[in-house]
Amino acid sequence: MALTVNARDIAMLTTLAEHRLLTLHQLAAIHRKNIRALRRRLRELREQGMIETDTRAFGRRRGRPEGIISLGEPGLQLLKKESAIRADVLFDGVGRQGVLCLEHQLLVNDCRVHLAGIGRVVPTINAQFFSHLSPFADRLPDGRTLVQEQFQAADTGERVQFVPDGVFSLSHSELGKTLLFFLEVDMGSETVASPQGSKKDLRQKVVNYRALWVARRWGRYAETWGCSLKGFRVLVLTSTHSRLASACRMVQDMGAPDYVWLADRRRLLGEGIWASIWSRGGRNDLPADSILGSQKPAPCPSPADVDLAVPAV
């Protein structure tokens, strides 16, 4: 019997195309769905090939293994039929196959889950997230997306090229202000600062953002969003607390600027991306900051308070 697909199904399939893969709890948090009802509907979509499912092997806890959901080929074809995605998008560009590190992508998506619901914390604040992996992202004339950086350093003349894990804005509807953030998720797979100066280590990433600041490369985001920007912040999210401690020491030793903020996954999931969890400039000996600044509500709600709780692994 053929499955009748509704608008809510199309919305979920579009979300999967954008995020590449999501846990059951992440998808439920984004769409504010009951877990039991969502699991039943996903089972029906999987039987039609619209989605693909797997279990999360890394860091499993006791109890039912956590499900990982991604878009299936028939799901992509349905999105094309409904004009919900461009006709030239390939399955490799939306499916799980293009994800190099599952845990890294899921941690990026943990951040996105919180940002998607930040209006539940402060109704006057809206978040927009941009990913270079998005099949919906506009392309520049050279084929790159907006968030792929490629420029000449103003002070050294060297070629700087890197891709952030994400870029997002926070806009306040009443104050008319917009803040720009870059996101870097650190899984601890590289040394914090390798002797060889690896382009993938955290130290080099901080160097890249320093060059980005000097080159004042945030102007194109201001043009895209039609706003005024005075600078940006770099959020470094580590997978463990021990990695956070090492990263903070390195950032302090570099004399990195205050716009580099660090936190770990445990505090993100427990308190929320909006909470006072971020160590400005790596100064974890000082009180932590909130990305909402003076707009952080008091008392500050937890992810569970706003239906955004995702189980820690």
User: How many residues are there in the chain?
Assistant: 313
Query: Does 132 score more than 80 pLDDT?
Result: yes
Predicted local distance difference test score (pLDDT) of residue 256: 74
What digits encode the pLDDT tens for the residues 150-201? 998 887 888 999 999 999 999 999 999 999 999 999 998 777 765 555 667 8
What digits encode the pLDDT tens for the residues 276-303? 999 999 999 999 999 999 999 999 999 9
Q: What is the mean pLDDT of residues 254-276?
A: 94
Residue 4 phi/psi, 5-degree rounding, is -85, 115
**CATH number of this structure's domain 7-99:** 1.10.10.10
Query: Does 259 score more than 90 pLDDT?
Result: yes
pLDDT band, residue 60 (cuts 50/70/90): very low
Contact of 52 with 42, CB cutoff 8 Å? no
Of residues 60 and 248, the one with the higher pLDDT is: 248
Contact of 225 with 172, CB cutoff 8 Å? no
Q: What is the mean pLDDT of residues 130-138?
A: 90
| CA diameter of the chain | 65
State pTM to two decimals: 0.92
**In the chain, what are the domain boundaries?**
7-99, 103-306
